[in-house]
A and B are shown apart, each in its own frame.
Chain A
Amino acid sequence: MGWNRLAIGIPLLLLAVVALAVFAFDPLAKFGDGLPPEEALVVERVTADTGGIVAHIRGDGRDPVQIAQVQVDGAYWAFAQEPTGPLHRLAAAQITVPYPWVAGETHHMRFVTSTGATFEYTIDVARTSPAASPNILFSLALLGLFVGVVPVALGMMTLPLLRRMGSEGIVFAMALTIGLLAFLLVDTLSEGLELATEAASAFQGDVAVWMAAALTFLGLTAISRRSNLPTGGVALATWLALGIGFHNFGEGLSIGVALSVGNAALGSLLIVGFTVHNLSEGVAIVAPVSRRKVTFAMLVGWAALAGLPAVAGAWIGAFTFVPHWGAVFFGIAAGAILQVMIEVGRTIWSIRGSENESAPAGTAFAGFGAGVLVMYATAFLVQV
């Protein structure tokens, strides 16, 4: 046996010995007398349809959780659990309750475990969850288009205007793009961290968000450096479309989830709000190509890359969303957005350098501020 193997084997062996010793001597015995089992449960998703209410739950405690009874609105109700049996940590199950829920009203669910512990979930506004029918998929796709593709495409139509601007105007537009991305970054991160609190705690969702963001950022940076991505131009526009696409996928997800049951505060006015809110994303994408020749196909491609993910997001959100994957996704999106901000920054730097002008710091700052403010102001349209 070589030294290398010993160097791995001995610590592993000792670790096993230590683990055995902890169990053998049980230093916690003096602290844990008579403690009830540590039960925890998260309700990840609740849907409602003609058969009643369906709750997707997941065990989140050190000890298994046995659902003994289910209350809806303070009444014990018939229910079926699938699969049956106790829920071990991170094991998922589905509870179906044939409860005559009332459309548009609030319902409270309460899961009573074998020890009498209770876990609660509130359906804020009960409504029929969309079934995966062609009709519903089409409606969701339409929503995704209105929120994702339409505003990006409309924003891109400012390209002729951008073409008439001087280099200072372009710096302004690019800085505006960074401001917009900064807003999206904060929004996406807080989104992810909020979802992390709803996921089973064993997933350590907040850590997952930060890790996903950091790894994505580093990965994209490595790709960008290795492939010697040219600053500005078509490549940057594509990069931007990708980053914005990530964000729009997130918006689609949220809309899908909101429509799936109970928590939806979604109205047409709100959809229009999102359209307006996302308009500047289109401006951001075409800003780097204001001095380049672009084909119509490129524009269509960018609009699709940035906007279509909203459709996919809406579909996934409406039917299969779980918070921990959502949190990880928002982390990835945040990392991607940060990376795109860096790329846009490099481009501004290169514009300045190539034209040998003094640093238009004031212009850049004004652009950045305008970007953040536009996003903030239009965000009022999507507040509920």
Chain B
Amino acid sequence: MKLHRRALLALTLATSLIAPSVAMADGTIKIGTLATLEGPFTVLGQDSMRGVELALKEHNMMAGGMKLEIIQGSSDASPDSAVKAARKLVEQDGVQILIGPLSGDEGLAVKDYAKTQPNVTFVNGTSAAQDTTLRDPAPNFFRFSTDGAQWMAGLGEYAFTTKGYKKAAVVAEDYSFPYTQVFGFMAGFCKAGGKVPSKSWVPIGNKDFSSVIASIPDDVDAVYVALGGADAVNFLTQYQQAGGSAPLIGGSITVDQTVLGSEGKTKDVVIGTPSAGPISDTDDSPAWKKFVADYKAAFADGFPSPSLFAHGYYVNTTAVLLALDQVKGDVSGDQAKFREALAKLSFDTPTGKVSLDKNRNAIADIYLTEVTKLDDGKLYNKVVKVVPQVNQTLGMDEAEFLKLGVVGRDNPACP
């Protein structure tokens, strides 16, 4: 047993680990960004980083008279990796503000982590699970983007009254974000008198939807689909191949740019699909048009129009920068001043006014849209209606809203 040299090697290794925690230079604020820059959501993560970049550019990389140092963190969309990345940014890189993460369960995990780091302020990216802010919130977690249920505001009523769908089947992915979306849709749809006789929860990563499609009842007027990315495209193609004829109602990421921009024939199926979300491609407001123009000018390799991930990170980053301006870059101690500024912040985004409620969750406008084909053959979400200033309880009394219970596979139900 000659461990001699190996032991020395291990020792060298051990000592090399003792790198000093990077001390902050005067006049610089360290901001960490956390998005899915690896794994299957890489494309979305990259677009979210474009949103951050755009916001920073508008502020010339300065806020409150201080220089900003941006450190990127990356997850693969699993909560574990999000917390690991957040921990590295906070504990190793010493960021004072962290912007992110991107997806729902990551948000829940990072919120839990935020509670253990009272001296760092966490601002959401685009993660949209309800309970990140609604139940058991962290006092230092702020969300200037809205949650998945808010994104559905008005869609249920619209589908029932305007579109005339009385019965809808639900097909959605099996995790927290689609639960929240289905909850938001059904809240309006069931209240208006609609029925949802069947809900199919599809495991993430399942590519073969034919059996799910076969189990959709024949007598429904429409199918509400809350799937994202690869799964949405898969479902839409297979639905068409199987001769599916019921019209679709889309979740916020079902007919997002990611899906509308994808290649293939799914395009024909989705024309006319109503959906709702925090942004709309064809919004005519000057603020949105400017945002799109800036995005296109800055990123030749970006999407034809910024995705809601670019938008969400842009809004959250802008909020951080505005609040930093207000407190002159004072993020010392427990960042009380900065957080107060954040909590009171109310500002105009490309998609209207945004402010926070008492749980530090955004109150913002929601866009009701319908997929339309433009002259250039590309698909866009055309604005049908803007639902103004939607709050997290969808306009309900908070106690009454909380009584509806935690969103999940079986809640809500109106068969």
Do A and B associate with each other? no
* Chain B residues packing against A (C-beta within 8 Å): none
* Chain A residues packing against B (C-beta within 8 Å): none
